[in-house]
Every structure is written in structure tokens, then in C-alpha cells.
Amino acid sequence: MAILIIFVCIKQVPGITEVRIDPKTNTLIREGIPSIMNPMDKNGVELALEIKEKHGGEIIALSMGPPQAEEVLREALAMGANKAYLLTDRVFAGADTLATSHTLALSIKKIIKESNEKKYIVICGTQAIDGDTAQVGPELAEELGIPQITYVQKFEMSGDKIKVERVFRTEEVVIIEANLPALISVLKEINTPKHPTMAGIVDAYDKKEVIHLDAKAVNADKSKIGLTGSQTEVWKIFVPERKGEHIKLSGTIEEISNELCQKLKEDKIF
Amino acid sequence: MSIRIDDEICTGCGSCVASCPYGGIEIINDKASITENCNLCGACVEACTVEAIILEREEFKIEKMDISQYKGVWVIAEHYKGKIHDVAFQLLGKGRELADKRKANLTLLILGADFDNQLEKISQYGQDEIIYVKSKILKDYYSDLYVKILAELIQEHKPEIVLIGATPTGRDFAPRVSKRLHAGLTADCTGLKIDEETGNLLQTRPTFGGHIMATIRTPNSRPQMATVRPGIFKIPEQVKKKVKTTMINYDFKEKDTVTKIVKIIAREKSRINLEEAEIIVAGGRGVGSKENFKIIRDLAEVLNAEVGGSRVAVELNWIEHDQQVGQTGKTVSPRLYIACGISGAIQHIVGMQGANLIVAINKDENAPIFKIAHYGIVGDLHKVIPELIKQIKRVRAEETI
């Protein structure tokens, strides 16, 4: 009987809630900022675990990044993923979302081909907290030629059919059905990820491994990966300047209120 | 593909280090040196004052695209219950400016079912042309149909720039279209400009939770696609002009789509829509109690604003979870944000620093919120706000005379 392969795509990101700006140089202070698993990807791993528990299958965690991104894959293994693959190679660096999704697709295609399984689902976090693009999921679905449903906050599956709740806009959610294989990108509302157990952590280091794949292993065409395979490029990075001055209003409460009203009027608030 | 430093030229000034968001470059023995964190983004290349950093792309025999064939600016409309989303009109305003710079046409694309009677009204936002793809099924949003139609039309008409609202819908189909066309796409832009020298679209967007801004370009291929946050650009004044309208009929059936819409569920009406609010009055720990939050709501009422709050206010059950602004809540970009009794932890700031104008009222003059507030009031909010409400009412009353 065919088993379900549950792919979860994971990105290692800096824990930006702890990012500070150095007021003197106006740049990011990076010292001591931990690297973490992108929060919505963690929801993705949790969903994979829930799917596996109900329907069986094998969870494969995937990431592309520098060698140290192995840490987040270990974490996924500790949470309960069965296997982990890290796409790591200097030639993958500098990738925009087009090149990233291509590279991830190569590994998924390779794994599917080798396992002879046709039934699979790909789970991504809707967006990462560093880049915030939300583009890799849909681009990956396109490359794999499978349906996509993004912004998913509820998930059900029966047989080959998935039924999900997609947040469409503030006033509306849409319930959508699709057949597997399919890609979904999840929101944090979908579940609350559980911490790995002690046994899980031990297994992640002792019994499971993170398999490294380089460009050769996935048979990558160098014109489609990394910086060369990217269409967009960063031209400039800068720390946003705060608009205007920071004025402390002073005087009696009446004077302050009056001054603020005038300022708001000047700014055409009313 | 590689990055290297020319040690002969490098002065060790460190401006590259400051420009790098990844910790990918360091100064060692007075010379810049690339670390393994480098992801070849190229920010340092621009930052280097003496052109000592060289980023080389390996040249492959990729057919160079003839980008001169691409002309015109397209805006893709999104709609809801038969009404075009405002972001499309906002993009037409910006799109006009870009199209004029490129001496090209501005086109609005609508994929819908029932816009025949509205076309005249919709055509008054400065566009030269409307392409209206009509199919019954397009009353609703279908990811795959949007992708198919847009990819085909873009291939046929070859616009130079394609702008899309960065809504959950726009951010669903735009990446897939870009992948199908192998076109560069920049997400969630807050600034768009034409580079005078090259004619490239310079797309600026916040990244790293808004701590830094990145300007992205797509120099070697077309179209240049961008999604843009709603509320960033202003809706242009309406103008009457002759607009060429092309209607394309598609006979799509439900079986033509791989996904099936089972049900559309409206969420509760009372749902607070902070993301689209023009003005937000937010309260934090300093408000003091659930009862005291009334004062925040009162101020919001005179300003016709929404009420938000910090994580603390939610945890203490003073306000609802969907009113929370910040890292674990909503990211908002109103015209005016009034932070009352909010100290300004970074987790809160990342959620509201996109506000055009920030006013802070806080007892503690050292509260970090004052560092980002344009107007700071050091004082007791329970005394300041009632007076403020009084004065706003007075100013309002004067205006109506």
C-alpha cells in the first residue's frame, strides 16, 4: 500500500524579536541573536505530526541553507520528523525565491522518484519572519505542478482529498478542497507546536541523521540555482529613517493637547 | 559565482560591515573579509565607497532576454463581493507615475464576472486601458485560473511592470505567475521608483521585521513584478478620460480548476480590522484596568479610529486577541498611531513602526516608545486623554462652522 510522504519545508531564521539597532551606527546588532526555526514552519512540522498520527506516512523535513541550518532540521527530527535533508552548497547561496523554490523542488522530485511513492503533501509556513515574502510555497507548487492552498488555518484529510480553511481576508474565510498531491502553506493559528520530548531530542542526535545534499546530488543546473538563477537582486540595504523629528511636547495639559491638535491638523488627520 | 575583496583597494573603513544584515563580512587586519554567513546578497558591494568588493556571477549561456520588447505598466485588480479592492486604485495612482516615467500605457486588469456596469466608474483612476477577463466562475478567486489567465496575457502583451496588491490573494497568485514566467517578483513593497539611469524598477520593502529596508531590482528580465501593501499609496483623484476597454470572454467550468470552493464563511461582523485602519488608538499596561480602557475607546471614537493594544493588555484580558499589535499580533500601518501607556518593547514596535505618524503618551520619560514617536507627551494618560478629547471636539466643531 502506498504510504503518504509528508514534506515539511523549514527555514532557519534569526530570532528577530531580539534584533536591536545600534543607535550610533544605525545598523543591526547581531551579536547574541540566536538562530531559530521559522515560527510558522514549526506549525508546519506540528501539522505533519498530526497528519502522520491520523493517516500514517513518513515525515521528511527539508531545508536549504548554510551547514549550520542543520540545527533546525535536528529540531524537526526531535519533534518527530522521520528524515531530514539539508540542501547546502556554496552555489545555492544568493538565491531569490525563484532559485530557492527550484532547489527545493529538485530535492522533492528526487526523493519521490527514489521512493516510488506518488502520494505526497508539501507543507510550508506561509512566510518567514526574516524575508517575509510568502513566495517560496506557491513557487514550489508551480515547479512541482501541484495545487496550492496558502494561508491555511484549518486542515482535514480523508483519502486523497484535503479540505482546508483558508484565510481570505479579514471578513472572510474560504473552505477549499483539493486532491493530493498538493502544497499548503500554514498560518500560526493552525495549531500550537509541542516541545520535543527528551527521548525525541536524544533520537534526533543518536538515531536519526540529517542528510546533506549538494548541487551535484540533486543534479542542479547551475543557471537555475543560487545567485545566477535569481532574477531579483538586492541593490541596497538600509535602516529606515524615522520620518521627521521626535518632538516632546511640553507645558500644561491644555497647552500640550492644543499643540498636538494643531500638529494633527497640519498632518491632515482631521 | 563568487565574492571577493580587492585588498589593494580596501581601506578597511567598515562601511560594508555596517551594510550587511547577515554578519557576512568582517574587518580582519584592517581589511574586509567574507565570512561563511555571506549569502551573496550584494548589499556590501553597493555600500563600499572604493569599489573594493567584487561580486561575480558566472556567465552561463543563458539566452539574454530582449527586455526592450516589454512595455507598459499593469495593475491587477482584486475584488470582493463585486467591488474592486482599494489597493488596485492605489496602485493605479503609483502606476500612472511609473508609466509616465517610462512613457508607456497604464492598464488595469480585472478578472471577474460582473463588472460590465461598473467599468465606466472604474476607468476614472488614470489608466489608459482596461482588460476585463470575464467568466462566470471568476466571481470567486481561483488560484489556478488566475495564474493561467495572467501568465498567458502577460506572455502575449509583454508588460514591463506588473503591480499586484499584497493581500492574501495577491500573494497567492503572484509568486506562481512569476514562477511560470520565470520573472522576478518582489514581495510586499512599500516604495516603487524608476531608476533614471537604467529604467529598472527599484522596489523597496521592509525586511527583518521592519528593522531594515531592502531595495530590490530585476535588471535582466521582464516583466518586473511586485506586490504592494495596501494603504501605502494614495488613491488618485478621479479623472474623466477615454479609456480603451477590451473584454475577453473565457468559458471556464468548475472542472477547469484543481481546487474546489466548498464554502465561503463570513467572519463575525464586529471583527476589528486593524490592518486596514487609518487611525489606531492603542493602550498598554499604563491604562491600568479593563474599565480604564474606556478612555482609549473614547479617544478612538472622536478620531473615528480602531482600538488596539499591546500584548500585556491582551494577556490581562483588557482587550481581545485580534486587537493585539506587535510581533505576535497584527502588523499595522495606519496614518496615525497613538500609543497610550505603552512602553514600546521591540515586539510591539515591529508591529506599528510602519505608522505614518506616531504619538506616544507615557508617564515614564525614558520609555523606549518616545524614541520612535514623532510627538511625545510625558504625562498621565488619564489626565491627558480627556483634555485631548475635549480639544479635538473643539477643533472639529470649529471646522463645521
- Report the CATH number at residue B24: 3.30.70.20
B261 domain-assigned: no
Share of chain B above pLDDT 70, in %: 95
Residue bearing the bigger pLDDT, A48 or B235: A48
B160 domain-assigned: yes
Q: How far is A242 from chain B (nearest CA, A)?
A: 7
The total of structural domains in chain B comes to: 3
Determine whether the interchain pair B262/A139 forms a contact, defined as Cβ–Cβ distance below 8 Å.
no
pLDDT of residue B346: 81
Indicate whether A53 pLDDT > 70.
yes
Q: What are the pLDDT digits (tens) for B83-112?
A: 999 899 999 999 999 999 999 999 999 999
A219 domain-assigned: yes
Angle at CA of residue B382, ends B381 and B386, nearest 5°: 100
Regarding whether B224 and B165 lie in a shared domain, the answer is yes
Indicate whether A1 pLDDT > 80.
no
A174 domain-assigned: yes
pLDDT of residue B58: 62
What is the pLDDT of chain A when averaged over all its residues?
90
pLDDT of residue B3: 85
**Residues of chain B positioned with their CB less than 8 A from the CB of A247:** 374-376
Assign A120 to helix, strand or coil: strand
Band the pLDDT of B256: cuts 50, 70, 90: confident
**Residues of chain A positioned with their CB less than 8 A from the CB of B261:** 174-176
Chain A with chain B: Cβ pairs closer than 8 A:
304
pLDDT of residue A220: 95
Q: What are the pLDDT digits (tens) for A87-122?
A: 999 999 889 999 999 999 999 999 999 988 789 999
Distance CA B252, CA B257 (A): 8
B61 domain-assigned: no
pLDDT of residue B395: 82
Contact between residue B96 and residue B106 where contact means Cβ atoms under 8 Å apart: yes
Chain B contact probe: residue of A136, A146, A223, A235 with most B CBs at under 10 A: A235
The model's pTM: 0.81
Indicate whether B399 pLDDT > 70.
no
Determine whether the interchain pair B211/A147 forms a contact, defined as Cβ–Cβ distance below 8 Å.
no
Establish if A19 touches chain B: CB-CB under 8 angstroms.
yes
Regarding whether B393 and B358 lie in a shared domain, the answer is yes
Regarding whether B241 and B97 lie in a shared domain, the answer is yes
Which amino acid is present at A80?
G
Q: What are the pLDDT digits (tens) for A7-18?
A: 999 999 987 655
pLDDT of residue A270: 73
| Residue B307, strand partner residues | B281
Distance CA A237, CA B45 (A): 11
Band the pLDDT of A238: cuts 50, 70, 90: confident
Regarding whether B202 and B334 lie in a shared domain, the answer is no
Distance CA A90, CA A124 (A): 24
Establish if A92 touches chain B: CB-CB under 8 angstroms.
no
Band the pLDDT of B54: cuts 50, 70, 90: confident
Regarding whether B72 and B208 lie in a shared domain, the answer is yes
B303 domain-assigned: yes
CATH code for the domain of A49? 3.40.50.620
Long-range contacts of A24-33 (CB under 8 A, 24+ apart): A25/B18, A26/A239, A26/B18, A27/A239, A27/B17, A27/B18, A27/B19, A28/A239, A28/B21, A28/B208, A28/B211, A28/B212, A30/B23
pLDDT of residue B102: 96
Q: Give CA separation, A247 vs A240, B334, B360, B372, in Å.
A: 18, 20, 10, 10
Q: What is the CA B113 to chain-centroid distance, rounded?
A: 27
A234 domain-assigned: no
pLDDT of residue A30: 63
Regarding whether B153 and B41 lie in a shared domain, the answer is no
Cβ neighbours of residue A6 under 8 Å, at least 6 residues apart? A48, A51, A52, A57, A58, A59, A60, A120, A121, A123
B132 domain-assigned: yes
Band the pLDDT of A130: cuts 50, 70, 90: confident
Positive or negative, the CA dihedral B238, B241, B244, B248 is positive
Mean pLDDT of B108-120: 94
A79 domain-assigned: yes
Regarding whether B158 and B79 lie in a shared domain, the answer is yes
A264 domain-assigned: no
Distance CA A81, CA A65 (A): 19
B138 domain-assigned: yes
Q: What are the pLDDT digits (tens) for A133-190?
A: 999 999 999 999 999 999 999 999 999 999 999 988 767 899 999 999 999 999 988 9
Regarding whether B199 and B170 lie in a shared domain, the answer is yes
Q: How far is B218 from chain A (nearest CA, A)?
A: 4
pLDDT of residue B36: 78
Indicate whether B60 pLDDT > 60.
no
B337 domain-assigned: yes
Regarding whether B374 and B242 lie in a shared domain, the answer is no
Mean pLDDT of B5-29: 87
pLDDT of residue B131: 97
A250 domain-assigned: no
What is the pLDDT of chain B when averaged over all its residues?
89
Establish if B266 touches chain A: CB-CB under 8 angstroms.
yes
Closest CB to B211 among A19, A177, A244: A19
Parent domain of B311? 274-400
Regarding whether B221 and B95 lie in a shared domain, the answer is yes
Establish if A246 touches chain B: CB-CB under 8 angstroms.
yes
Which amino acid is present at B240?
K
DSSP tag of B380: -
Regarding whether B234 and B156 lie in a shared domain, the answer is yes
A123 domain-assigned: yes
In this structure, of A26-40, A75-89, A94-108, B270-284, the range with the lowest mean pLDDT score is A26-40
Q: What are the pLDDT digits (tens) for B175-230?
A: 999 999 999 999 999 899 999 999 999 999 888 766 678 899 999 999 999 999 88
Band the pLDDT of B146: cuts 50, 70, 90: very high
Parent domain of A167? 5-224
pLDDT of residue B57: 66
pLDDT of residue B111: 97
A58 domain-assigned: yes
Mean pLDDT of B275-294: 92
Share of chain A above pLDDT 90, in %: 69
Regarding whether B84 and B39 lie in a shared domain, the answer is no
Chain A contact probe: residue of B40, B202, B205, B322 with most A CBs at under 10 A: B40
The total of structural domains in chain A comes to: 1
> What is the complex's ipTM, to 2 decimals?
0.89
Distance CA A236, CA B263 (A): 44
Establish if B359 touches chain A: CB-CB under 8 angstroms.
yes
Distance CA A100, CA B347 (A): 29
